[in-house]
Amino acid sequence: MISYLLRKLVIFYKFFKIDTPLLVLLILLASFGLLILYSSSGGSLNLVYRQMVHLGLATSVMLVIAQIPPIIMLRFAPILMLLGVFQLILVLFFGSSGGGAQRWLDLGFVRFQPSELMKIIVPMTIAAILSEKTLPPRAFPVITSLITIATVVLLIARQPDLGTSLLIGASGIYVLFFSGFRVMLVKNIWLNLIILSSTLLGSLYFAWNYLLIAYQKRRILTLFNPESDPLGSGYHIIQSKIAIGSGGFTGKGIEKGSQSQLDFVPEQSTDFIFSVLAEELGFLGFLLLIIIYALIIYRCMSLSLRCEDNFSRLLGASLTFVFFTYVFVNIGMVSGLLPVVGIPLPLISYGGSSLMTLMASFGIIMSIHKHKSPRYLQ
């Protein structure tokens, strides 16, 4: 009876499109995150139980998406993009507010953040646009991609949500990068460099004067001198750096960090949870976390590059780099190397929305690896 059940379980497992090494790494990272969350919440199991529910729902989403063939994603990407842009426009006019921002759509029975969905829809759509022709892409699909990215980024920046808008912009640019796109406006390399540099500086000037609002500018300026306002805009960074520095090589031990346990570190269960990890587990804990992240990134890139068609390769590689961007920006932000933006530490920070998006991305990567591409896409 037991052997029969085991055979059925093996058949059932093989039927599902799941990459076992990636799944094991994600479970390991999530378990590590629950331990840090337990400590950051002062030993409260309530927050841990809620995060376990989030993980269960997000894993279910990942498993469902992993069963969807990439060809379906390719065909429906433009429709999803139109629906996503429509939702972002609705947010600007009818969205519900919270924390000084208007980012949510409240349908009565559910309240959700459309910008989270765009973290997947944008790279999927750009990959669909660029994969229609041979790579590297020609001018028209590149211009179409840039207009699409800029439209979404501007709509989200108006909410305002600087961190998410930059992350989504990066996700689209990653697809262009992996497509082999080269910016050559003129044949002369130096003149081309001057034009691109001038365009970049002009874009930064426009963003600083017309897009960024007061508190966003203050966050950027605080990066260079947080001590200028130690009890205001610089408080987060100062306390976080103290916590990270006091951890040393081995850390103070779980639930023994003075900065975290005495609530000096703000948002210590969400955006600033890395400072809790660094204080209580030290450099060794940081090293373990980075190793797990590196293995996940390596596995995802390996699966993406093995794909047979351009759409799958571009989508998988860009989603992997989005995951890397999450890690890089959060650790850089908490360490005082980057401005403070609302980017959580993947599978470590408490929360449900970003976790759903991340696990959905891993589901897509599993899907493009396990499903064979149609011959006309190869």
Domain shared by 359 and 249, yes or no: yes
Q: What are the φ and ψ backbone dihedral angles of 106, each rounded to 5 degrees?
A: -105, 110
Domain shared by 60 and 91, yes or no: no
- Domain end among 156, 181, 206: 181
Q: What are the φ and ψ backbone dihedral angles of 42, each rounded to 5 degrees?
A: 75, 30
Domain shared by 290 and 312, yes or no: yes
With respect to residue 355, please indicate whether it lies within any of the assigned structural domains: yes
Residue 239 to residues 110, 234, 275, 334: CA-CA distances in angstroms? 36, 9, 9, 10
- Structure tokens, 269: 């269960």
Could you give the angle at the alpha carbon of 199 between the alpha carbons of 197 and 204, nearest 5°?
95
Note the pTM of the prediction, 2 decimals. Answer: 0.88
Domain range enclosing 128: 70-181
With respect to residue 8, please indicate whether it lies within any of the assigned structural domains: no
With respect to residue 192, please indicate whether it lies within any of the assigned structural domains: no
Strands (E), the chain: 96-98, 101-106, 111-112
> Domain tally for the chain?
2
With respect to residue 258, please indicate whether it lies within any of the assigned structural domains: yes
Q: Which residues pair with 111 in a beta bridge?
A: 106
Domain shared by 240 and 355, yes or no: yes
Residue with tokens 């994603």: 73
- Domain end among 152, 181, 210: 181
Domain shared by 51 and 131, yes or no: no
Q: What is the pLDDT along the chain (378 residues), one digit of tens a residue?
A: 667 666 655 665 666 678 889 999 999 999 999 999 988 887 778 888 999 999 999 999 999 999 999 999 999 999 999 999 999 898 888 877 766 667 777 776 667 788 888 999 999 999 999 887 777 788 788 889 989 999 999 888 887 777 888 889 999 999 998 888 776 655 667 777 777 788 778 877 777 777 777 777 777 777 777 777 777 777 778 888 888 888 888 888 887 777 777 677 777 788 888 888 988 898 999 999 999 999 999 999 999 988 888 899 999 999 999 999 999 999 998 888 888 887 889 999 988 788 999 999 999 999 998 876 655 455
pLDDT at 376: 45
pLDDT at 13: 60
Domain shared by 243 and 296, yes or no: yes
With respect to residue 356, please indicate whether it lies within any of the assigned structural domains: yes
Domain shared by 246 and 352, yes or no: yes
Q: How many CB atoms lie within 10 A of CB 204?
A: 10
Domain shared by 239 and 352, yes or no: yes
With respect to residue 154, please indicate whether it lies within any of the assigned structural domains: yes
Domain shared by 365 and 246, yes or no: yes
pLDDT at 193: 75
74-90 pLDDT tens trace? 999 999 999 999 998 98
d(CA 331, CA 357): 19
With respect to residue 191, please indicate whether it lies within any of the assigned structural domains: no
Q: Are strands 101-106 and 111-112 parallel, antiparallel or unpaired?
A: antiparallel
pLDDT at 109: 64
With respect to residue 232, please indicate whether it lies within any of the assigned structural domains: yes
Among residues 109, 114, 104, which one has the least CA distance to residue 83?
Answer: 114
- Domain end among 148, 181, 214: 181
Domain shared by 29 and 80, yes or no: no
Domain shared by 44 and 86, yes or no: no
Domain shared by 122 and 253, yes or no: no
| Residue 20 CA neighbour count, 13 Å, CB half | 4
3-state secondary structure 349-362: CCCCHHHHHHHHHH
pLDDT at 249: 85
